[in-house]
Amino acid sequence: MAQGVGGKARIGQLYPSGGLCDHEMQRMAPEGVHFVTTRMPFRKAGLEDDAALASNVEFHASLLADARVELIAFNCTAASLVCGPNAINRRIEAATGIRSVTTIEAVLDALKAARMRRFALLTPYLPEVVAAEVRFLQECGLEVTATAGLPCADPVEQGSIAPARWRELAGAIPMQGSDGLLISCAGIQIADVLDDIESDLGRPVIASNQALLWTCLRLLDLPDRPSGFGALLGGSFDSS
């Protein structure tokens, strides 16, 4: 795990309060890139809860501004697509004067870079959240070829699933006709099996935290590309 107090960059992370995997960003980050986290109330994992996550985002973002971060990352995939990335960014930037980015924006940029227009989707979401994400992706001109996952009622349940279980689920999802696999959710343990899943499938794998870190590094013009966390973060698609 990268340590330090941001010799290269200090990034603020807005993260759901019940989530257990905020450490994944720091786990994958290059040395000298430091994540400072503030939590937003989030105890259940339905669509209504996603919609409410950003209700007081100005206050929570202002706490990160106290740490003089250079960028603020709103890190919840489902909430950022439900609330709208542009609306979230406008509110954060108006409150703090600091540039911000959301997880769903990072995911879309990563899918484009990896040339994944048709892909399978793996999540820990409830069916209503999966349906909302599929609709959102379709509206962006993308095609979800198959869905699978473990529906979880709350973020603690999401974060308690072992990485090996996600690898097992990824290996069982139908991949015919797909360009790769999207693993959606910032609240799951996935970083340490991304390379394994890509090797198993023989296709690119995009995951929420991986995509967000990749986007943060690019926004801050940092050349570091950590290895061991999938082709995207390793820089394989940077020229796309």
Q: Is residue 225 part of a domain?
A: no
Q: How many CA atoms lie within 13 A of 13 on its CB side?
A: 28
Per-residue pLDDT of the chain (240 residues; tens, 9 = 90+): 555 566 899 999 999 999 999 999 999 999 999 999 999 999 999 999 999 999 999 999 999 999 999 999 999 999 999 999 999 999 999 999 999 999 999 999 999 999 999 999 999 999 999 999 999 999 999 999 999 999 999 999 999 999 999 999 999 999 999 999 999 999 999 999 999 999 999 999 999 999 999 999 999 999 999 999 999 999 999 975
Is residue 12 classed exposed, middle or buried when 0-12, 13-18 and 19+ CB atoms within 10 A define those classes? buried
User: SS3 breakdown of the chain: % helix, strand, coil, rounded to 5?
Assistant: 40, 20, 40
Residue 2 lies in a domain: no
Residue 53 lies in a domain: yes
Of 149, 158, 155, the closest CA to residue 130 belongs to: 149
Inside any domain, residue 240: no
Same structural domain for residues 98 and 112?
Answer: no
Confidence (pLDDT) at 239: 78
203 and 214 share one domain: no
Q: What is the pLDDT of residue 2?
A: 53
Say what the pTM is: 0.97
Do 97 and 14 lie in one domain? The reply is yes
Enclosing domain of residue 95: 9-102+209-219
The length of the chain is: 240
Q: Is residue 130 located within the same domain as residue 60?
A: no
